[in-house]
Copies of this chain bind each other. A is one copy, B any other.
Amino acid sequence: MAPDWIKEIRRDNLSGAAELAKRAARGLAEWAPGRARDEIVAVLRALIAAQPRMAPMLHLAAAVLAKPGEAAAACEEYIARLEAAAQAVAERAATLVEEGDVVATHSRSSSVLAALRYAWAQGKRFSVYLTESRPMAEGVRLAGELAAAGIAVKLFVDAGLSLIVSEARVVLVGADAITGDGVINKIGTWPLALAARERAVPVYALASTDKFVPSDYELPAELPRDPAEVYASPPAGVWVVNYYFEATPLDLFHAVVTELGSMAPEDVRGRLGALRLPVELRG
């Protein structure tokens, strides 16, 4: 029953949440005009179910449901808001980077990449230490993107946190979602945050408020990933376990950098507690 563009969004395991939300907004803007409210609600629910762990879909659905008769305009506004928020987060996070810094990160966040490019374009000269992020090696990809921008980059194995936080002045990571359980991000973020706390290095998550999950929406558990991504031929009898994401408690972060400002953990909790998903989109 779901339109084809929703099926494509469901199948996409590579694109980030913001990118998929933008694609969904474009799909909705074309599909929704002239449809009945009930039909729109059904498709918004299908959209959320297609990527049930991507918070921006919830915000897009809520924005469309607020003006179902003007869905196309609501979608355009949502895309513009998402892009403006991303730019604001990058600019604000860039102020955390100072001349001569070692900045640490883990895996690959488009927000972190944008912030570091912005800081570099401002003339700040710094270096980035980062981890490979097995099994998909997103950190290696980010390392290449940063190096292509002229930034000095040192790449470490994921176990090499001591080498990273002993040199870093600040840790910047992205976020796939922000919930009462903490910052949902690539696995390895929690040990990095623990190591940074041990060395008194402040940790910031970069996330527009589109990543905030309403307190009445339960983010479903991540399903296990393909073990062959870790080892195609593990030793006989060995069970390989592969998950991409984990929750890092908010209190391990100095702040979450959003388009509305840097929010301390207690402010994030307050905002999450006040966020509600429209009743028709729940469950």
Binding site for B on A (CB under 8 A): 106, 131-135, 140-141, 143-144, 147-148, 152-163, 186-188, 190-192, 194-195, 198, 230-231, 234-243, 246
Contact = CB atoms under 8 A, between A and B. Distances in A.
A131 B238 CA distance: 12
Contacts of A192: 191
B155 A131 contact: no
Main secondary structure of the interface of A (DSSP, over half): mixed
Contact of A147 (B133, B134, B143, B236): B236
11 contacts: A134-B134, A153-B239, A155-B231, A155-B238, A156-B240, A159-B188, A161-B188, A163-B187, A163-B246, A191-B195, A194-B198
Given A140-B235, A148-B235, 7 more contacts: A134-B134, A147-B236, A155-B241, A159-B188, A162-B246, A163-B246, A191-B192
Contacts of A143: 234-235, 238
Contacts of A242: 157
Contact of A134 (B159, B239, B243): B159
A189 to B, nearest CB: 8
Nearest to A248: B162
A184 to B, nearest CB: 12
Interface centre among A141, A152, A234 (most CB of B within 10 A): A234
Contacts of A231: 132, 140, 155
Nearest to A247: B162
